[in-house]
Amino acid sequence: MRRLVWLSLLVVMMPLTATAQETRGNISGTVRDAQGVVPGASVTVTNVDTNISQRLVTNESGYYEAPLLNPGPYTVTIEMAGFRKATRANIVLGVGQQVSVPFMLEVGNFTEEVTVRAEAPLLDTTSVSSGSNFNTHLVEALPMFSNMPITLSRFSASINVNDQQTQVSQGSPSSQRKEL
């Protein structure tokens, strides 16, 4: 009887302990300056091994949290207009660990960068080619003398048509039929 009670208790408790095993961790912190907290700062948490980034924004209390991160080395970068960019590298996150990474931003110069790129499209000047596409409706609407699609080439751009050539026909469809 006693074994049955212990076995029942073990069966009930085993799934509960299995669900409590979390392998991921969190990185969080508060961003401050000399005046207090900094809301709206851009936070980038990057896994150094996989180069996967998670982008966040600090809330009204200057707090950020990157949840459910895989264990490994991370870099955290904070950016905010009017402040210097702040970066912390070599943050090692362990299994199920909560790491607090606070930042103190320093006032920096406001810089604006404008990049204008104008590139001409690449042209292949070594060969000449042209082509025409004919859809079914266009082909059916064209009057053809011999029902030969090769005669459609006469309508392509850059084709010099010699009207003095004799048109060769395969004959009319009725003359090709033989009755048995």
In a domain, 116, yes or no: no
In a domain, 47, yes or no: yes
Task: Confirm whether 4 is domain-assigned.
Answer: no
Q: Is residue 130 part of a domain?
A: no
pLDDT tens digit sequence for 125-169: 566 666 666 677 776 776 666 666 666 666 666 666 666 655 555
The number of folded domains in the chain is 1
CATH number at residue 42: 2.60.40.10
For residue 38, is it within any domain? yes
**4-13 pLDDT, tens per residue?**
777 776 677 7
Q: Is residue 40 part of a domain?
A: yes
Of the pLDDT bands very low, low, confident and very high (cuts 50, 70, 90), residue 173 is very low
61-110 pLDDT tens trace: 999 999 999 999 999 999 998 888 899 998 999 888 899 999 999 888 65
- In sequence order, what DSSP letters do the residues of the chain get, joined into one string? -HHHHHHHHHHHHHHHHHHT----EEEEEEEEETTEE-TT-EEEEEETTT--EEEEE--TTSEEEEEEEPSEEEEEEEE-TTB--EEEEEEEE-TT-EEE--EE--B------------PPP---S---------HHHHHHS--SSS-GGGGGGGSTT----TTSPPP----HHHH----
On whether residue 176 sits in a domain, the answer given is no
**3 inside domain:** no
Structural domain including 33 reads 24-104
